[in-house]
Amino acid sequence: MTFYESLGFLVFGSRLRRLSETFLGDVNRIYGAHKLQFDAAWFPVFYILSRKGSVSIRDIADELAISHSSVSQLVSALQQKGLVKTTTAADDARRKEVQFTAKGKKLQQQIAPVWTALTQAMEELVEEGRHSKVLLKAIAETEEHMARESVFDRVERIMSP
């Protein structure tokens, strides 16, 4: 039994972070191996734009359940790379719409086969383990339960006399 396994839930966050870092590192290596100038951190925005064409920063933030500021920073970085552009929405001057540039659309088309292969590879990976098959469902359930009552609130409730 490894150190991490022996401590169970006390190192839950550390194990998830390690797994995430390993996964994202491999994904970025895949992009590099295929000579694609793409970072895994860009994936959510690229995926949403690939499906919707044009979307507001607020809608991206809402869909990803992250702050407007975080999305704005990511969009700004993508703009600096020449991959997306923003325009003011015709119906609301306060709203910024994000779209691919020609360069961004070309990159998205180049990475789409990687996303397909990645999905297949991950499906293969989880089929190898008896418990892995329910990994995404277990994560979703955990997220849902934490949204109802955070770990902080649970610990405080347990520690209250």
* pLDDT score recorded for residue 49: 94
In the predicted structure, residue 91 carries a pLDDT above the cut 90: no
User: What single string gives the DSSP state of each residue in the chain?
Assistant: --HHHHHGGGGHHHHHHHHHHHHHHHHHHHHHHTT----GGGHHHHHHHHHHSEEEHHHHHHHHTS-HHHHHHHHHHHHHTTSEEEEEETTEEEEEEEEE-HHHHHHHHHHHHHHHHHHHHHHHHHHTSTTGGGHHHHHHHHHHHHHHS-HHHHHHHHH--
Confidence of residue 51 (pLDDT cuts 50, 70, 90): very high
In the predicted structure, residue 4 carries a pLDDT above the cut 80: no
In the predicted structure, residue 95 carries a pLDDT above the cut 90: no
Q: For the chain, which domains are there?
A: 3-128 (1.10.10.10)
pTM of the model: 0.81
